[in-house]
Every structure is written in structure tokens, then in C-alpha cells.
Amino acid sequence: MVSLNITIKDGKNRKHKAMVELDADKFEKLAAIFGLFNPDFLKSLTRAEKDIKAGRVTKLRSLKDLR
């Protein structure tokens, strides 16, 4: 079984840790719930790779830059 360590920091720089263990079947179910096998999602990944190779990507310093 594969384990995944997750660390979450809140605004006060305190760390909250959790460990999640998933086998292959549970991981596939989780991926399906998040829509990672959805054909539209897979097509968007392909488009994103093409955009990166073509240089049509802008690095953001903050989400405020999207406004």
C-alpha cells in the first residue's frame, strides 16, 4: 500500500500533518471522483502542454494578477 504524507500550513505557520494510505483500487476511485479520467480533462491537459511548448504561458506572482 502506498502512503502519501500531506502537510498543511495555516496562516500562523503552524503545520498540520496527515498521512493517507491508498492501494491502487482506492487511488483509481479517488482519481475518478476528481474527474481525472474525464475525456475533457485529458484534452485540457493536452492543450496546456501545447501552450507551454508554444510559450503562451504567463507566470503569476499572485492570484490578484488575474483581475
pTM for this predicted structure: 0.47
Instruction: Look up residue 12 and give its DSSP letter.
Output: T
- Residue 43: which pLDDT band, with cuts at 50, 70 and 90? very high
- Residue 3: which pLDDT band, with cuts at 50, 70 and 90? low
For residue 11, give its domain range.
Answer: 2-66
Total domains, the chain? 1
What value does the mean pLDDT of the chain take?
A: 82
**Residue 18, strand partner residues:** 6
With beta carbons less than 8 A apart as the criterion, state whether 17 and 3 touch. no
Triad 50, 52, 54: Cα angle to 5°: 70
pLDDT digits (tens, 9 = 90+) for 7-34: 777 777 777 777 777 788 888 888 888 8
CA–CA separation, 51 vs 48, rounded Å?
5
Q: How many CB atoms lie within 10 A of CB 31?
A: 13
Percent of the chain with pLDDT over 70: 90
